[in-house]
Amino acid sequence: MTRTPILCVDFGSTFTKAALVDAATGALIATGSHPTTIGTDLMEALDALRAGLARETGDHRAWPVRACSSAGGGLRVAVVGNEELVTSEAGERVATSSGGRVVHVASGTLDAAAVAALTASEPDLVLLVGGTDGGNTRVLRSNAHTLAEADLRLPVVVAGNLACRDEVAEILTAGAGAGAGAGAGAGAGTGAVTVTDNVLPEIGVVRPEPARAAIREMFVRHVIGGKQLSRRTEFAEIVRGATPDLVLRGVEVLARASAADSGAPVGVVVVDVGGATTDVHSVLEPDPEGGVLRREVVATLPVSRTVEGDLGLRWNARGIVHAAVKENLLSVEERESLGAEAKRRNADPAFVATTQGDLDVDERLTALAVKLALRRHAGRTHLVTGSSGPRIERKGRDLRGVRLLVGSGGLLRHGGVELTARVLRAGLAGEAGNGRLVPERPLLRVDAAYVLAAVGLLADDHPVAAATLASRVLDTV
């Protein structure tokens, strides 16, 4: 069979990674990594990777390229909703699952102070939500007027009450000086407005996919170019979305592949420990009790992602120690010793561990980051006392039945299977006994070749190849 190679690229904040994949078979032909050339032009890193892969494979053709990016801060999203615990919560969950880092959440009617706080968070995009379909329109319309008058010149995705969304789009586009008119893409350029389905059409039902797609489109069309990461038009042409969004898409494919492999539905959790953040991606099967999730005001999403911006092995190593101290995970002696090592890493983000002692410290920090990130991503059980007596209730994401836990990130990818297994076991140790709804008996795997981003990039138009590539993670033992 003739090879049809596609070059899948992730422009990361520190490194740019590439995977050359045969789109006909899903075979991984070659991989490469190069420091991200954020100070000059991001495409310089891609040029270096192309040259290196050409030498390695002997293939000097111009491969088609598709890419994702988290360089330059990735995608920063501000969410504006009606109520903190209803539409704002739903909007935040959807924005996070779409690959954005939520930097601000505003609830209720915006005033000057609220707009100032939103502006200070320096978002790339605003997700404007509010009201269930046919419900309250007053707050959503008022917030549209306030944002338009503030003239923030930011792309806006409107995913609120269908009863007034077109009117809201007209308000925003007219206020931005782009002329009236609603619909996807109205108001071209910075300040563009697009409308999509309500993220919370009714209480207890969250519909993330339309908003995720709209945010992805806005990121590619308006945010990537605005960051001026490259002077070459090819960059905007090859980027398909924010890296976390494509990785989560890859995790969805992995969940289906693992279900096909085992013959039964399974859940998947991927923990990616990076230099600046620790991300957790999870895909769960629907609750067999059916109506349980609908009893929550904002239902749990089958697909979810959380970003822990204070947990990173270099830029935020001190954040790991600080959070671990708050959670009583460190002895007094370890607080001092690990704190000093974390400070050292914060001061020199380019630090590379070479001695066994430094590697041991990195492993300890990684295990703590995994434990803390899983705690924040997963739900908990609570003892509730009512008129009928005490009962146990669970709140949040129930990961207990997840059968596949995957480690990712530089240390885990390069440290090998044994190190990854130790770190993941340490992250899970003792959690279930404390009421944490973390995976109880998962299979442990590592994304050693960093293929999940490539899987996400291939998923829509090369689904068979994407599934085959995802199986590399399942085969890692």
- Residues 49-92: pLDDT tens digits? 999 999 999 998 899 999 999 887 788 999 999 998 888 988 99
In a domain, 432, yes or no: yes
Return the CATH number at 140: 3.40.50.280
Same domain? For 368 and 435 the reply is yes
H/E stretch holding 430: none
Q: Which two tokens stand for residue 282?
A: 């999870």
Same domain? For 179 and 316 the reply is no
> Structurally, how many domains does the chain consist of?
3
* Range of the structural domain that residue 33 is part of: 5-63
Q: What is the structure's pLDDT at 418?
A: 92
Q: What is the structure's pLDDT at 161?
A: 96
In a domain, 256, yes or no: yes
Same domain? For 219 and 250 the reply is no
Same domain? For 25 and 80 the reply is no
Residue that finishes a domain, picked among 63, 95, 112: 63
Same domain? For 52 and 160 the reply is no
Q: What is the structure's pLDDT at 133?
A: 94
CA nearest neighbour of 214 among 229, 238, 195, 227: 195
Same domain? For 395 and 452 the reply is yes
Q: What is the structure's pLDDT at 159?
A: 96
In a domain, 231, yes or no: no
Same domain? For 287 and 308 the reply is yes
Same domain? For 190 and 81 the reply is yes
Residue that finishes a domain, picked among 22, 37, 63: 63
Residue that finishes a domain, picked among 167, 194, 226: 226
In a domain, 205, yes or no: yes
In a domain, 434, yes or no: yes
Q: What is the structure's pLDDT at 221?
A: 83
In a domain, 234, yes or no: no
pLDDT digits (tens, 9 = 90+) for 432-461: 878 899 999 999 999 988 899 999 999 999
3-state secondary structure 61-93: CCCCEEEEECHHHCCEEEEEECCCCCHHHHHHH
Q: Is 267 helix (H, G, I), strand (E, B) or coil?
A: coil
Same domain? For 17 and 113 the reply is no
Q: What is the structure's pLDDT at 188?
A: 31
In a domain, 235, yes or no: no
State how far the Cα of 185 lies from the Cα of 227, in Å rounded to an integer: 19
Q: Answer for the pair 348, 335: CB distance below 8 angstroms, yes or no.
A: no
Same domain? For 55 and 77 the reply is no
Laid out side by side, the sheet with 303-308 consists of 303-308, 278-283, 268-273, 404-408, 443-446
Q: Answer for the pair 272, 411: CB distance below 8 angstroms, yes or no.
A: no
Same domain? For 78 and 59 the reply is no
Residues of the chain where predicted confidence (pLDDT) is lower than 70 = 1, 175-190, 286-300, 386, 476-477
Same domain? For 251 and 366 the reply is yes
In a domain, 240, yes or no: no
